[in-house]
Structure 1
């Protein structure tokens, strides 16, 4: 038996082993990301958009402040970002991860978040392809109205929903859970002054 013939299975084994190592390291890094908890995170949990909006209204009715270093976005940017996410579930996301990503890592991340009842993600990462958030305004009146409208439109929407840019296809109930967890994660980085 020639050495080139006997090396073929060995090379395949080594390549697959390397691939498994890369997947394993990626999975470990992913777990760290899923368990990431920034300082000053209030760890809010909401089961529905109605529950999440109660906290939005509580914060909006007071002097709200970001909890440093939990987020670098102001209150208006945060409300605008959360509204965008809900709007895109109805209109379609401007840019999406591949179907492979959505059906593997994306779906797995959503399932982990749903089991925990809580999402963890970078609180200053924009939605891919979304219009830039306006950092110049500290008046959140327009952003708050936009979020209220987005939540209302989602609640009354009876048609199909567009796939999430990372999680892929979600039912209405799953999407509501995703939006509630998204709001909880962002609202955890704010509290009332005093």
Structure 2
């Protein structure tokens, strides 16, 4: 292979990889109703967390994320990030069908989580915020992913919620 052919092939790798991620990501279909049902099934139960945040803090964090999509996030990543790396990360998460991020990392600029807040209250607030999201027509840019369609925002919320729910279990 000559040098020109090698460089063209090398340049094609990110394009082909990006196309593959995009195709795989398009197969992920978020579903609001089962997500809401899963949260509603937790109401009134005694819950525990395997992480550093208790269930109330987890639900508060998730509600903050959904609320940010409705009202705006107080802090955003740099514009170059939310136009390149951020959207690509969401596509990778959708392609994988799962999100991976530190589960005790607060959303930049959001209020501190109250560890003493009732779990039932925090969960109820998350459910109400998700219902408001479902009815919303205008959404604000995500602090890391930038401008998202409603379907992409729902995917981001669902993947985020599912990852955090992996730390919560019902106490028998």
* Matches for 1:111-190 after TM superposition, within 5 Å: 111-137=91-117, 139-159=118-138, 161-190=139-168
Instruction: Say yes or no: does 1:75 pair with 2:55.
Output: yes
Distance 2:149 2:34 in 1: 19
Unaligned stretches of 5+ residues in structure 2: 1-27
Task: Normalising by structure 2, report the TM-score.
Answer: 0.79
Task: Normalising by structure 1, report the TM-score.
Answer: 0.70
Contact 1:46/1:181, CA 8 A, preserved across alignment: no
Contact 1:59/1:191, CA 8 A, preserved across alignment: no
1:65 counterpart SS class: strand
Aligned to 1:55: 38
Instruction: Say yes or no: does 1:98 pair with 2:81.
Output: no
Aligned to 1:36: none
Distance 2:32 2:55 in 1: 18
Structure 1 residue ranges (4+ consecutive) displaced by more than 4 angstroms after TM superposition:
none
Unaligned stretches of 5+ residues in structure 1: 1-44
Once the two structures are superposed, residues 116-165 of structure 1 have per-residue CA deviations (whole angstroms, 9 ceiling, x without a partner) of 1110111110000000000123x212212211111111011122x11110
Once the two structures are superposed, residues 87-131 of structure 1 have per-residue CA deviations (whole angstroms, 9 ceiling, x without a partner) of 110111000001100111111110100111110111110000000
Provide the aligned length of Structure 1 versus Structure 2. 145
Q: Bigger radius of gyration, 1 or 2?
A: 1
Contact 2:73/2:142, CA 8 A, preserved across alignment: yes
Distance 1:145 1:55 in 2: 13
Aligned to 2:13: none
